[in-house]
Amino acid sequence: MKLNFFALLFLVFPILMVSQTRYVDSVFKKISKNTYNYSIKNLDTLKLDFYEPIEDSLIAKPLFLYVHGGGFSSGSRNDLGTVKMLESIAKKGYAVASIDYRLLPKDVIFGCDYKGAEKIKTFSKAAEDVIDALTFLVNYKDDFYIDQTKIILSGTSAGAESILNLVYNKDELVLPNYEKYKHIKISAVVSISGAVLNPSLITTSNSVPGVFFHGVIDKVVPYNEASHRSCKATDKGYLPLYGSKKITESISSFNTSNILISYKDKGHDLSKIPSADFFDITFKFIKKVVIDNEFYQAQITQ
């Protein structure tokens, strides 16, 4: 594993700490989980699972919202791996949510035969569902004990594309009616194998801090810039996407905190994590940048 000097300090220094740190370590033993309907879209009743630590006296917790992957065709908010991951995050002292969002019909494949324009519509629907889930949670923030000034969005693959386009490409491409959601402020993103439609739309005003995990040889969602699923320009489903490398270059130009973790020998199979890397790097970054409001940038190659 290759780390730059500052990243090494960042990752090693907390080992010297004796006591457990809220937002980084598991400081609670038990959590509760409840399911809510957050929106109805035609025939789809969209649900979210909400996790929180039991016997936590803090009445305003940072919100960590997770969006599952699955190529917009499959995946679940509550599969066993997701549940275990989110329980672990809630034990660190976060309010945690995992959401449903609208998927494609079972006979539709989000590939090179699916028109590029329809792919953008799919991104838009997912982004709308994410912001509707956030609106629901923020509207009931006192009941959920949420600090609406500290919202972290996380996603894997299709879920990562959904949150990244919502944050960095919302106005012009995926959510033109975002004005009605302007009270929702995102503090950070955590992306595993994600991409955006247009990195030139990242500006000072929407350059949100983030942690980005990506396989360098990913042929489904590009690490730098390439077509989605490696489709050819003559394919109906040709759609250029811009991955973690391109996104972090853009937000770094605005002096925004971020970490890019590049896996040089991995492709889209990286989306099957979280691994130990995910927990270690992500939550130290959130504590440093979102909670303590400090600046931090690093690139890590594994």
Q: What pLDDT is stored for residue 88 in this prediction?
A: 95
Q: How far is 61 from 141, CA to CA, in rounded Å?
A: 10
Q: What pLDDT is stored for residue 175 in this prediction?
A: 79
Asked whether 62 and 31 are in contact (CB, 8 A), the reply is no
What is the rounded (10 degree) CA torsion for 34, 39, 44, 46? -30
Q: What pLDDT is stored for residue 17 in this prediction?
A: 45
Asked whether 168 and 206 are in contact (CB, 8 A), the reply is yes
Q: What pLDDT is stored for residue 174 in this prediction?
A: 81
Q: What pLDDT is stored for residue 5 in this prediction?
A: 43
Write down the pTM of the prediction: 0.92
Stretches where the chain sits below pLDDT 70 are 1-18, 172, 271-275
Asked whether 80 and 41 are in contact (CB, 8 A), the reply is no
Q: What pLDDT is stored for residue 8 in this prediction?
A: 47
Residue 126 CA: distances (Å) to CA of 120, 130, 160, 177, 205: 10, 6, 10, 14, 22
Q: What pLDDT is stored for residue 277 in this prediction?
A: 74
Using only the alpha carbons of the chain, give its radius of gyration.
18
DSSP 8-state secondary structure symbol assigned to residue 51? E
The SS3 call for residue 154 is strand
Give Cα 16 distance to the centre of its chain.
29
Strand-by-strand arrangement of the 188-192 sheet: 2-3, 297-301, 258-263, 210-215, 188-192, 146-156, 61-67, 95-99, 44-53, 31-41
Q: Which residues contact 191 (CB under 8 A, 6 or more apart)?
A: 154, 155, 160, 163, 164, 210, 211, 212, 213, 214, 244, 247
Q: What pLDDT is stored for residue 19 in this prediction?
A: 75
Say which residue the tokens 């995992």 belong to.
98
